Amino acid sequence: MLKFMRNKIVGIEVKDSNTLLAHGFLDDDIYSIEMDVLIDINHLEIRDIDGRWNRWTTTECKRGIPFLKEAVGLRIKGDFSQTVRRIIGRKACRHFANLLLECCYTAKEASKTLKEKLEEKHDLCTATYGDNNDKNTDSTAFADESDHFSGGFHDKDPSFSMIIDLHTHSFPASPCSSVSVDQLVQEARRIGIDAICLTDHNYVWDSSAVEDLRQKYGFLILRGNEITTDQGDMLVFGMEKDIKGIIGLPDLRKEVLASDSIIIAAHPFRGFLTVGIQQIGLTLERAVKRPVFRYVDAIETLNGSVTENENRFTDMVAEKLGLPKTGGSDAHDVSRVGVYATGFVDRIEDERDLVYAIKEGRSFPVVFRRYAETKASA
Amino acid sequence: MYNIMEFSRNRSTCVEQTDNNTLRSYCRLNDTVMDALVEITVSVPDLEIVSVQGNVFRPYKDEFTESFEFLKRVIGTRIGPGILKIVKGLTEGIRHKQFAFMLEECCHAVILSFTKEDLLSHPRPDNEEESIRYHRQMVLDNIRLYNRCAAFAPGSRIVEGINPKTGEI
B14·A2 Cβ contact <8 A: yes
Query: To the nearest whole angstrom, how far is the Cα of B54 from the nearest Cα of chain A?
Result: 16
Residues B90 and B142 in one domain: no
Q: For residue A107, name the pLDDT band (cuts at 50, 70, 90).
A: very high
Residues B100 and B136 in one domain: no
Residues B92 and B138 in one domain: no
Residues B60 and B13 in one domain: yes
Range of the domain at B146: 123-159
Under 8 Å between Cβ of B80 and B54: no
Residues B98 and B136 in one domain: no
Beta strands in A132-242 (DSSP E): 162-168, 195-198, 220-229, 232-237
In a domain, B166, yes or no: no
Q: pLDDT tens for residues A349-373?
A: 999 999 999 999 999 999 998 655 5
Q: What is the mean pLDDT of residues B119-125?
A: 81
Query: To the nearest whole angstrom, how far is the Cα of A136 from the nearest Cα of chain B?
Result: 7
In a domain, B53, yes or no: yes
Q: What is the dihedral of CA A98, A100, A106, A112, to 10 degrees?
A: -130
Residues B78 and B92 in one domain: yes
Q: For residue A1, name the pLDDT band (cuts at 50, 70, 90).
A: confident
A132·B88 Cβ contact <8 A: yes
Return the residue in A31, A202, A274, A313 with the most chain B beta carbons within 10 A, the one to mutate for interface testing: A274
Domain boundary assignment for chain A: 6-119, 162-377
B131·A59 Cβ contact <8 A: yes
Q: For residue A215, name the pLDDT band (cuts at 50, 70, 90).
A: very high
Residues B72 and B26 in one domain: yes
Q: What is the mean pLDDT of residues A243-259?
A: 94
Query: What percentage of chain B carries pLDDT values higher than 90?
Result: 66
B118·A274 Cβ contact <8 A: yes
DSSP for residue A69? G
Under 8 Å between Cβ of B28 and B37: yes
Q: Which is more confident, A180 or B143?
A: A180
* DSSP sequence for chain B: -----SEEEEEEEEEEEEETTEEEEEEEEEESS-EEEEEEEEETTTTEEEEEEEEEEES--THHHHHHHHHGGGTT-B-STTHHHHHHHHTTT-S-HHHHHHHHHHHHHHHHHHHHHHHHHSPPPSSHHHHHHHHHHHHHH-GGGTTSSGGGSTTSGGGTT-BTTTTB-
CATH class of this structure's domain A162-377: alpha beta
In a domain, B110, yes or no: yes
A109·B81 Cβ contact <8 A: no
Number of domains in chain B: 2
Q: pLDDT tens for residues A35-62?
A: 999 999 999 999 999 999 999 989 999 9
Q: Give the residue on B whose Cα is nearest the Cα of A272.
A: B81
Residues B67 and B97 in one domain: yes
Residues B99 and B154 in one domain: no
The C-alpha R_g of chain B, in whole angstroms, comes to: 20
Residues B42 and B99 in one domain: yes
Cα separation, A339 vs A370, in Å, equals: 7
Assign residue A138 a region: left if phi > 0, alpha if psi is -120 to 50, beta otherwise?
Answer: left
Residues B114 and B149 in one domain: no
Residue B73, domain CATH: 3.30.390
Query: pTM for this structure?
Result: 0.83
Q: Give the residue on B whose Cα is nearest the Cα of A2.
A: B16
Arithmetic mean of pLDDT over chain B: 91
* Confidence check on the interface: ipTM exceeds 0.90, yes or no: yes
Residues B113 and B129 in one domain: no
